[in-house]
Every structure is written in C-alpha cells, then in structure tokens.
Homo-oligomer: A and B are copies of this chain.
Amino acid sequence: MSLSSTLPSKVKLVDVGPRDGLQNEKQMVPAAVKIELVQRLQQAGLKEIEVTSFVSPKWVPQMADAAEVMAGITRQPGVRYSVLTPNLKGFEAALATRPDEIVVFGAASEAFSQRNINCSIAESIERFRPVVEAARANGIYVRSAISCAVGCPYEGEIAPERVEMVARLMKGIGVQHCGVADTIGVGTPIKVQRALDAALRHFAIDDISGHFHDTYGQALANTLASLQMGVWQFDTSVAGLGGCPYAKGATGNVSTEDVVYLLHGLGIETGIDLDRLVDAGQYVSDFLGRKPNSRVATALLNKRQSAG
C-alpha cells in the first residue's frame, strides 16, 4: 500500500503547550513567559493555540493567571485562541477575555471519571450542557476532548464503544468538535484508528482531531495512521511540554516539532516554519532549565551547533 495518494494535503496543528503542556509542569511559569511563548508560536506559523484554562487556582495554581495571559497576548488575524472552561464559573471568566474557542473534557473511562471528578461519564458531560449553551449563545466554538480514549491508568484498555458513547453525549449537548486523546500514550495505530472510527459515528472527519502522547514512543505512528483515515487536525505541544519521559508519572505530549517534521516529510502543508518553532521550544525549555523533549529539536539544535 503506497501512502502518497491517500494522505491529506494540509494539516492544522493546535499547539497545546501553553495550557496542556505547562499545566503539567511543576515549576511555576510567569504570565510574561507564557505570553512570549504564545507570541513565538504564532510567529512560527501556528494557527491555533490552546492558551490557558479557567479553572480554580486552588486546583491548578499554574493556570491562576489565565485572564492575565489572555489579556497579554497580541492577537494575530487568522490565529485562533482556545481556553479550557471546566464549568460555568470558568466560562464566565473566560468570556470576558474573548476566546475563539472553548474546550470541554470527558473521559472514556468510568474509573477515571469517578476517581478524578467523582461522577459518571454521563454525569460529567451533562454538567457541561450549560457551559456549551452559553458558549454557543455567545458565538464561541466548542471543542470537546475525549480523554483516555485508548487506555486508562485504572481500567487498562478502553473499548471503542466507550469512545462512541462519549462522542454521542458530547454531540448531544451541542459540542461542535471532537478530539480523541490518548492521554497516557499507550495506543498503537489500529487501536487509535478504532477510537477515531468510533468518534466518526457522531462527528464529521472535518470536526475530528487526534491528540497523542509519546510516552511509549507511538505518537508519530498513531499520527500516520490517523492521516490515512483523513484526519487532518492534531493537538501537539511545543518542545514536548507536559512531562519529561524520564520523570515518574510523565504525560509526554508529542512534540510539535516531531509532528511538523513528519508532515513536511510527507509533503503535507502546515504553514509552520520548523526553525522558528524550534526556537520557540528552546525559549520555553531554557526557562524551565532543561532540553526540549523532542527528537527533532534535539537533532536540529545539535546540527546548528556543529555548523556554528
């Protein structure tokens, strides 16, 4: 089977580094650094950025500056800025900052849902109904993300039927987009295709995205398998922000750099300048006092060093 005729010609990446990435970093990052990171990402050509989360600072201190960050970014035409809004209070705070999109989360694992938010999957999604209604009434696009869509740290493997159910419930409350997230990075290509197939029962291919973690190094293989289904939107995290593979309990978002290299190698347009992206990743990695968690960034930075 030759790939060249079957892949999408363009792909849109959503950089989730400033939110999903930094939220999982222990070290507190000042608003000014987050704002500069967003700036560098859009200068590198990212057309959508998950900026922050309007969540209780008691639970997530790293996101306590959500409003400050949203107010501080210089918006570029053609770039979309999304934020997480776990409840109506969060949504109201977010609304004042004029996000283009909000994101709501539901797990495909009952055990995960119970342990994390102390309610069933169905209840957790029903709670988003007023948030989704308020967003849509305000003309704000609503994305959902299905976490643990392939595996769960408590339940193990997740059946595609669970993903289908979450997608159906999300569609039912008025959500417009469905992200399929392998939150713990255990997925391999066929399992990921099955999870995406399940979501496709309720969302069109243009309203689906993949969100992969590189914990087991499978994220690019999973991306390739998704592309072969026609999926053309992916969440990625600059410098692999959101967990170092050498730290216990690492989450390991796939790095934007690695995905861009794959896509460009496949002849797929992203609008992203890989060199500037590597710079953006180096900027935030320098702040965190470590190397970018990206093989492409590592290889290109080594190459620059040898050349220089």
Contact = CB atoms under 8 A, between A and B. Distances in A.
Interface of A: 1-4, 6, 185, 187-191, 193, 197, 214-218, 220-221, 223-225, 228-229, 245-252, 255, 258, 261-262, 264-267, 291, 294-296, 298-299, 302-303, 305-306
A128 B285 CA distance: 48
Contact of A214 (B218, B266, B295): B295
B261 A224 contact: no
B188 A245 contact: no
Contacts of A306: 247-249
Contact of A295 (B3, B216, B267, B291): B216
A145 to B, nearest CB: 22
15 contacts: A3-B193, A4-B190, A188-B264, A188-B265, A215-B295, A216-B258, A217-B217, A221-B221, A224-B224, A250-B295, A250-B298, A250-B302, A251-B295, A251-B298, A252-B295
A305 B6 contact: no
B299 A245 contact: yes
Nearest to A6: B1
- Oligomer: number of copies: 2
A262 B217 CA distance: 9
Given A188-B261, A246-B298, A250-B299, 17 more contacts: A1-B6, A2-B197, A3-B190, A188-B262, A189-B266, A190-B265, A215-B295, A216-B299, A217-B255, A217-B261, A218-B265, A221-B224, A245-B295, A245-B298, A247-B303, A248-B302, A249-B298
Given A1-B1, A218-B220, A305 B248 contact: yes
Contacts of A223: 221
A3 B218 contact: no
Contacts of A215: 295, 299
A188 B249 contact: no
Nearest to A2: B193
Contacts of A229: 1-2
Nearest to A244: B299
A291 B246 contact: yes
Contacts of A1: 1, 6, 228-229
